[in-house]
Chain A
Amino acid sequence: MSTSNRYLDRLVSNLQQDGTAVFCRMVGSAGVEEITWGDFRQDCCRFRDAYAGAGMQSGHLVLIFLRHVRELYGAFFGAQIGGFVPSFMPCASPRQDPKIYWSSHNELMQRIKPAAVVASRETFKEMVEAGLVLGSARKIVLEDVRNNDVARPEIDCGHSGEDAIGLLQHSSGTTGLKKGVALSFGAIANQIDSYGRSLKLDGDDVIVSWLPLYHDMGLIACCVLPAYFNIPIVHIDAFYWIGRPAVLFERIQRDKGTLSWMPNFAYEHMASLLGRRASSYDLSTVRAIINCSEPCKASTFDKFADSFAAAGLAKERLQCCYAMAESVFAATQTEIGQLPHRVRVSPENLGRGQELSVLAEGGVELIACGKPIAGINIEVVDESRRPLPPSTVGELALSGTFLFSGYNKEPEKTAQQLHDGVYYTRDLGFIHDGHVFVLGRLDDMIIVNGRNIYAHEVESVVSGVEGAKSGRTLAAPLFDERVGSNTLLIIAEKEPDLAIDEDAIRRDIMEGIHSTFNVTPHKIRLVDAGWLIKTTSGKISRKANIQKYLEEAAGE
């Protein structure tokens, strides 16, 4: 195993710099807290020593359940410099029932057996009250670490080579079934070095973000990358941003922000709510606002550009990338400073295996996610994983220097998608003139507001609701132009021969889905037994039932 480690060398070098420079500004409802590199270094040392003091060994996993506090960074990077493997995890949202939320973590805890858990005293109390069993995991209490003296201020690179796992990302699936994407230090360094060149980073960059760090876009683009390249971060609490979306633009203006990332729904949300006040913002410092994490929509791009032209945001500052945890983060990036490539295609030609018919006008307009960044190769393959010609629709498959090492403790799931150095993404798309276009998912993953959930897991929750017929439910995405994202449609057959309160069933479905996935369904349709159409193999047909629903809805 190699003992050199570009990532840790760079991080440690940055941590040893002038301690008064700003590392991050934490923005939330309580105001702004400035963290210098000196503060950050001390937090890293406190957590590194707390982990070691708790008896953790090199390579041990630590799960970090922290809300919007400055120690997010020290807990994460302190683990890395101590030789441990950190993973950010979400806490219960204000609208989720903490008992249901935390008790649903038991399966995950039993499967991955973390060596330690970091949380506030209050969060540990919630976990205990919900019956979450932490087993042999050490409890690292935020308030205790915060009050510790820094016994050993020296920082070194440790002995982790580039093959060692540098972090885990738990980015999709429900709590019990979350897959931990294991990333080596070498893969992280390769991706960040390449992506940094694509972004044309310079000494004046400032990253402004409201993205949570348990999501790959927040973690890599707005936490790991800036720590590696020594770029100041302005980190806005996601819950604060939801209530006050203008805070993103206010901070860009105040802190001279140059780079920001957000999903398509957030583009739509910002444009809908703030467009009429555009002239009150100054976004002239922005080099790129990058749309990512769900398919980018040309109409949303145009709406955002038109809405904020008066704020000094030129259209070519709006960019896209195609990213996933399995390739650390971005695998493609549109050319910074240039308008993203677009094509008009016939919607009839967007099925798997079909060759595109590019139109001069009409059809649907698609926006590219850019070309593959250096170090990654993207191919489009058919059902047998054989390469397809250019401009043909198929599954996107990635190979190169920054793929994940596997899913943590999930060898079977790893083998299904990572084979002979190629990661089969289950994303449907095509490559036209070298530009990558992403159309959607091949499996039943539904992306709602940038959040990945699986239809079969939602259907399982609905099946458990009293009054809904078990196994006779459908969860499906419905794209909503107004929201700029998929919304969630639920169709459930009612149990026959029961005195049924339909409002109660709908309420139980809403509560069950929200507590489990932190997503609210937009349509719940209760239907009589036998309404749902099955395929010849006896499965409930997603396509036919969505079509039936849309036809009935149009006729109402």
Chain B
Amino acid sequence: MSDVDVFETLVQVIREETGNSDIEIDEDTTAADVPGWDSLAHVRIVMNVEVSLGVPIVIEDTYVAANVGELVRILRKSVQASGA
């Protein structure tokens, strides 16, 4: 699974979980740029990405991500660690 696959999965989940179906999201997007991306939404986003990718993710690891690009890199590590 490539960085692009993870990015596309993440963007789709962010749009669904925050109710912003057409918001533009790129690697520099932060939670503060997306209405509705609060701490509860963050947990829903990560847990739904976990289901979509089929790999376990330690949510505490994701809190250090400053933007979507960093979050993708953290998720990608989880994918690699799982061998998927």
Q: A residues touching B (Cβ–Cβ < 8 Å)?
A: 29, 93-95, 242-245, 265, 269, 272-273, 449, 480, 482-483, 487, 503, 506-507, 510-511, 514, 519-524
Minimum Cβ distance to chain A for residue B49 (Å): 13
B26 beta carbon closer than 8 Å to chain A: no
Interface residues of B in 34-74 (CB under 8 A from A): 35-41, 43-44, 47, 59-60, 63
**Count, A-B residue pairs, CB within 8 A:** 53
Q: Is the CB of A514 within 8 A of B36?
A: no
Q: Is the CB of A265 within 8 A of B32?
A: no
Residue of A nearest to B51 (CB): A276
Residue of A nearest to B32 (CB): A510
Chain A residue contacts of B47, Cβ below 8 A: 273
Given A29-B60, A480-B19, A522-B18: A507 and B32 within 8 A (CB)? yes
Q: B residues touching A (Cβ–Cβ < 8 Å)?
A: 18-19, 32-33, 35-41, 43-44, 47, 59-60, 63
CA distance A271 to B33 in the complex (A): 28
CA distance A511 to B19 in the complex (A): 19
Q: Is the CB of B36 within 8 A of A523?
A: yes
Contact of A242 among B18, B35, B39 (CB under 8 A): B39
Q: Is the CB of B35 within 8 A of A522?
A: yes
CA distance A29 to B59 in the complex (A): 12
Q: Is the CB of A449 within 8 A of B60?
A: no
Minimum Cβ distance to chain B for residue A484 (Å): 10
CA distance A506 to B60 in the complex (A): 28
Minimum Cβ distance to chain A for residue B23 (Å): 11
> Looking at chain A's contact residues, is the secondary structure mostly helix, strand, loop, or mixed?
mixed
Q: Is the CB of B43 within 8 A of A242?
A: yes
Q: Is the CB of B44 within 8 A of A273?
A: yes
Chain B residue contacts of A242, Cβ below 8 A: 39-40, 43
CA distance A522 to B37 in the complex (A): 8
Contact of B35 among A244, A245, A506 (CB under 8 A): A506
Contact of B36 among A95, A269, A487 (CB under 8 A): A487
Minimum Cβ distance to chain B for residue A516 (Å): 14
Chain A residue contacts of B44, Cβ below 8 A: 269, 272-273
Chain B residue contacts of A93, Cβ below 8 A: 39
Residue of B nearest to A480 (CB): B19
Chain A residue contacts of B39, Cβ below 8 A: 93, 95, 242-243
Minimum Cβ distance to chain A for residue B45 (Å): 11
- B33, B41, B43 — most chain A CB neighbours (10 Å): B43
Chain B residue contacts of A95, Cβ below 8 A: 39
CA distance A480 to B40 in the complex (A): 14
CA distance A265 to B43 in the complex (A): 14
